[in-house]
Amino acid sequence: MNSALLIIFTTAVLALLLGLRARKGRDMNLEQWSVGGRSFGTVFVFLLMAGEIYTTFSFLGASGSAYGKGASTYYTLAYQLLAYTISYWLLPAIWRYAQRERLLSQPQFFVHKYDSPALGILVALVGVLALVPYLMLQMKGLGLIVSLASYGAISSTTAVWIGSAIVTAYVIASGVRGAAWNAVVKDVAILAVVVFLGIYLPVHYYGSLSAMFSAIDNAKPGYLTFPEKGQSVIWFQSTVLLTSIGFFMWPHTFSSVYTAKSARIFRRNAAILPIYSILLLFVFFVGFAAILRVPGLSGSDIDLALLKLSIQTFDPWFIGIIGAAGLLTALVPGAMILTTASTILANDVYRAGFRQQASDTTVKRLASFMVPVVALVAITLTLNGGTTIVSLLLMGYNFVTQLFPAILCSFAQRNPINKYGAFCGISAGAVTVAAITLSKSSVGGFFPFLPQMLQDLNAGMLALLLNIVVAAIVSLLTKRAGNGVSTNVSREGGT
């Protein structure tokens, strides 16, 4: 056993113990398990939100896309900033409503706001459909990190199984509390590793940042800026806008809002999180540093850029530390996703759809049972697929973004859309996303007659526009029947 493997293995055991201990002194009922008893303070909420950002995606995906695609990776920094700006007003509103109605999950939010169980089930399905690729993303990253950092001693497949077993165990025991405690360790580790690599590698290999960027610009002209077509400026603008409104629509991020004990926490975090996002810049530097040092990676191998460059630079013990930090970046979001997906399946599909009289205890038991089931589905799909990390993430994003219009409208004094509109709009948007993704097409592919500028729009934008148009039309048509809006207003006034 080499030193790298030893460090990674120790970290895995510590993460497991910390995750199992997180339940200590709590009676793990459904509310504790799913939303931490709505008792988390600034630090935990901050880390759960920030923890969402510093996943294996930022570790491998952002450096990989700086390496393989150049400028288009800048969007990952920009969209966060806008997401935080929106969060200042959006999250306190969501939190207040969830607190009052004692919500446990995102689909329940829709059920209560729109007074429609069917809408809840639709949202549950869209959510789980988006969460599974996100979980696969974490597993894929985990497999890559551990197999490379252990110098091949542990295969990617074995790593995925072991990592999933660990996260499954502590999620069953502690739910979202397990994720929160590991998030503390994870963020300290990733912060140290990323800042060090981002400063050391450019200086070590090129002498300075400017020398590095000049060298890249000479070797690959146009790589550091947005091109005229394809991933152009308009692509950047539409992607940033789309992903920033999708950011808090992820079911697990949405329900991490419920864990907070006060609304003010979100406003404070909205001021601090932008500075924290600067970490990604260092990840970009690593990816750029790899361009001229480990050339030739292509396809989904671009995600290996950070690890390959590190391995040819550092001693095994330090690779072990990078591997350990990487492992944690997969386990924390993995735990959040598993908790949320299981809660949704048990509470919003089973209880809401089939057995409305089921007790919290029954739902909690079923949710615990769903944890290994969801994990197994994701493992199977991960081990049989080969899409790169960023493209998986973008598909999930396009799915969850479809929920945004209905949520935003539900906070209006008089909601302009009713449950029928919300249902049809979300369905239309989700089907469009699926059609575009499955046919591997783009806006230009569907509408070749459009000017180039519009062809480069992010495909999710098309789905979102369709969603809004359908929601508005259906709401107008069903308004005369005299339902939806009035029910909603009376609910708002209640309590």
Partner 1 sequence: MILRLLAFIPFLAILVGVAFTNQVQPLIFGMPLVLAWQVLCVVLTAVVMTVIYLCDPANREEDKAGEDQGSAQ
- List contacts with partner 1 (CB under 8 A): 37-39, 71, 74, 77-78, 81-82, 84-85, 88-89, 92, 99, 208-210, 212-214, 217, 224-226, 233, 236-237, 240-241, 260-264, 267-268, 270-272, 274-275, 277-278, 281, 284
**Closer to partner 1 at the Cβ: 123 or 194?**
194
- The minimum distance between CB 274 and partner 1, in angstroms, equals 4
- The minimum distance between CB 85 and partner 1, in angstroms, equals 5
- The minimum distance between CB 270 and partner 1, in angstroms, equals 5
**Closer to partner 1 at the Cβ: 2 or 262?**
262
**Closer to partner 1 at the Cβ: 164 or 269?**
269
- The minimum distance between CB 54 and partner 1, in angstroms, equals 15
| Residues composing the chain | 495
**Closer to partner 1 at the Cβ: 71 or 132?**
71
**Closer to partner 1 at the Cβ: 260 or 349?**
260
**Closer to partner 1 at the Cβ: 89 or 369?**
89
Helix axes 42-53, 316-343, angle to 10 degrees: 110
**Closer to partner 1 at the Cβ: 85 or 483?**
85
**Closer to partner 1 at the Cβ: 170 or 206?**
206
- The minimum distance between CB 268 and partner 1, in angstroms, equals 6
**Closer to partner 1 at the Cβ: 233 or 297?**
233
- The minimum distance between CB 210 and partner 1, in angstroms, equals 4
- The minimum distance between CB 151 and partner 1, in angstroms, equals 33
Q: State how far the Cα of 460 lies from the Cα of 463, in Å rounded to an integer.
A: 5
- The minimum distance between CB 95 and partner 1, in angstroms, equals 10
- The minimum distance between CB 197 and partner 1, in angstroms, equals 16
